[in-house]
Amino acid sequence: MTLMKSWLESANSEDTPFPLNNLPYGVFSMDDGEMRCGVAIGDRIVDATGLEAAGILRADPEADVLDAPYWNDFMELGPKAWAEYRAALQAMLGAGADEATRDALTTYSVPMAKARLHMPFRVSEYTDFYAGRHHAENVGTMFRGPENALPPNWLHIPIGYNGRASSVVVSGTPVRRPMGQVKAPDEAAPRFAPSARFDIELELGAIVGQASDGPLTVAQAFENIFGYVLLNDWSARDIQAWEYQPLGPFQAKATATSISPWIVTAAALEPFRVDAPAREVPLLPYLAEPGPMLYDIALSVGLTPAGGRETILSRTNGRELYYSAAQQLAHHSSCGCPMRVGDLLGSGTISGPTKDSRGSLLEMSWGGQEPIALQDGGSRSFIEDGDTLALYGHAQGRGYRIGFGTCTGTVLPAEAPPG
């Protein structure tokens, strides 16, 4: 696949995250504060809510599905409508569009630099998986020792746990360092204190675009996934270590989960599908993949101290996952669990095999034992107040890229509890 040309020049640059091939979906507001559905193209946002209201481009002839500050109603329409809408947008924004169409789209678009971005969809429920093998091995080694690094079920199950949907925020939202119960191994009793080991997790988030009410095959699950975002599952490692046995992470993961503001559609990522790593043990038939279902997406993490310069801490890739989002969704539904439009599935931390490709500070600093040097001098084992953490991601085509935009958040100091 090569660059699809647009009449909008800024969409034709090799470097723009938002060429005509991409067309990700978001929610934006301008000075009047009204939230509208938008589509990113080059340096502009197409006002999809406006196009619908004007009758210029409608996803559903009967209903206003974009007259809302989220894309959930659009997702409800299903894969056929998704494909038709995308094709229509590509025609209207493509180099072959006529003058009247160009004028209309120019009228119904705004400069991205002046827009504020919001959550692109309403999160129904949020599930976080653990599908990165290097991450599971690294964390397992630190928490349980090298001989118990990979849990016995890990090569059979895309392990996941339910997270907290209410804590999902859009990129740019500040994140307050949590308070919580912590207890060091040498302490007699726990303390209630600010987390001293506050961390990121570099993940991809998959958005479920179709509801289901029983077990899905992997192929069905793949069709039900609408798109992807970058996802940072902020994690308080000290709270986690004390609370997670026996029922899993809870308050350690409920302060915030940040996502990038644009939903990059599965359609835009289609040319970048890659096979999963070789299976060390056979998967059960209900998890068998009919084709490549991971994506070749370059990912990186940057840390910027307050008033300082950014250090890129790590570079990794979506293909490092062991289980695809489609396999996760198939497993999620296997017990009959109803899935809903707007469900968000975090991939789990995506670490590569080397130290400079790890997706969390816990791994990069090996539990704080090997602090990471910063560009400006200084170092980090975990996040300090005022630090801004950013995730970046794109799929690289020939002469174009499918970008996700940034997923960023600045950490604020903890606040004393009430009462």
Residues lying near a second copy in the complex (CB under 8 A): 124-125, 130, 140, 143-144, 151, 153, 156-157, 159-167, 176, 178-181, 183, 189-192, 214-217, 219-220, 236, 239, 242-252, 254-256, 281, 284-286, 331-332, 334-340, 415, 417-419
Which are the contacts of 363, defined by CB distance < 8 A and separation ≥ 6? 135, 138, 139, 349, 351
- From residue 293, give the alpha-carbon distance in Å to each of 219, 268, 271, 384: 10, 14, 11, 37
Residue spans of beta strands (DSSP E) within 254-326: 257-259, 264-265, 273-274, 294-295, 298-304, 311-317
CB of 210 to a second copy, least distance (A): 13
Nearer to a second copy by Cβ, of 16 and 257: the residue is 257
Nearer to a second copy by Cβ, of 215 and 302: the residue is 215
Nearer to a second copy by Cβ, of 23 and 168: the residue is 168
Nearer to a second copy by Cβ, of 86 and 183: the residue is 183
Binding residues for substrate: 130, 144, 240, 244, 349
Which are the contacts of 129, defined by CB distance < 8 A and separation ≥ 6? 158, 159, 160, 323, 328, 345, 346, 347, 348
Catalytic residue among 118, 135, 332, 394: 135
CB of 140 to a second copy, least distance (A): 8
CB–CB of 319/296 below 8 Å?
A: yes
Tell me how far apart the alpha carbons of residues 44 and 369 are, in angstroms, rounded to a whole number: 45
> Is residue 156 annotated as a catalytic residue, yes or no?
no
- From residue 419, give the alpha-carbon distance in Å to each of 270, 412, 416: 53, 21, 9
Nearer to a second copy by Cβ, of 172 and 302: the residue is 172
Residue 175, both tokens = 């994140």
Which are the contacts of 83, defined by CB distance < 8 A and separation ≥ 6? 267
CB of 340 to a second copy, least distance (A): 5
Binding residues for Mg(2+): 233, 253, 257
CB of 256 to a second copy, least distance (A): 8
DSSP 90: H
CB–CB of 22/40 below 8 Å?
A: yes
CB of 336 to a second copy, least distance (A): 5
Residue 50, both tokens = 């406006």
CB of 309 to a second copy, least distance (A): 29
Binding residues: 128, 130, 144, 201, 203, 233, 240, 244, 253, 257, 349
Nearer to a second copy by Cβ, of 110 and 165: the residue is 165
Q: Report residue 336 CA to chain centroid gap.
A: 25
Tell me how far apart the alpha carbons of residues 363 and 373 are, in angstroms, rounded to a whole number: 14
Binding residues for Ca(2+): 128, 201, 203
Catalytic residues: 135
